[in-house]
Amino acid sequence: AQSVTQLGSHVSVSEGALVLLRCNYSSSVPPYLFWYVQYPNQGLQLLLKYTTGATLVKGINGFEAEFKKSETSFHLTKPSAHMSDAAEYFCAVSVASNTGKLIFGQGTTLQVKP
């Protein structure tokens, strides 16, 4: 069965600092992996996804994530945090079936300090 673990429910960085949000997954089949962002009082918005091919995936708003099979990780990074990046971030893995179901991590709240 697939599962997702996000390390750290809250991460705080200073504006301009590196953002690193950690995600580890468990999957018995090659995974499809997603990062979503949720701004206050809004639904989730796709940041990026890994399907096949290049392991470094670039997303919107300057975010990127690297799929590392040996470490079963899909960490999200951004070189320089902006105040507008403050939000909750969710990592998800696709269930190995033709249902379109996703399994989400618990979420990480990113705080950006001025």
Partner 1 sequence: DVKVTQSSRYLVKRTGEKVFLECVQDMDHENMFWYRQDPGLGLRLIYFSYDVKMKEKGDIPEGYSVSREKKERFSLILESASTNQTSMYLCASSLNGRPYNEQFFGPGTRLTVL
d(Cα 113, Cα 85) in Å, to the nearest integer? 11
State the minimum distance, in angstroms, from the CB of residue 44 to partner 1: 4
Query: Of 70 and 97, which has the nearer Cβ to partner 1?
Result: 97
Number of Cβ atoms within 10 Å of the Cβ of 102: 17
> Is 67 an interacting residue with respect to partner 1 (CB under 8 A)?
no
State the minimum distance, in angstroms, from the CB of residue 29 to partner 1: 9
Whether the CB-CB separation of 105 and 91 falls below 8 Å is answered with yes
Nearest to 48 by CA among 56, 73, 11: 56
Piece in contact with partner 1 (CB under 8 A), picked from 17-25, 46-54, 62-70, 72-80: 46-54
Distance of CA 15 to the CA centre of its chain: 19
The correct pick among 34, 63, 67, 74 for binding partner 1 (CB under 8 A) is: 34
- Where do contacts with partner 1 occur on this chain (CB under 8 A)? 9, 32, 34, 36, 41-46, 49, 51, 90, 94-102, 104-107
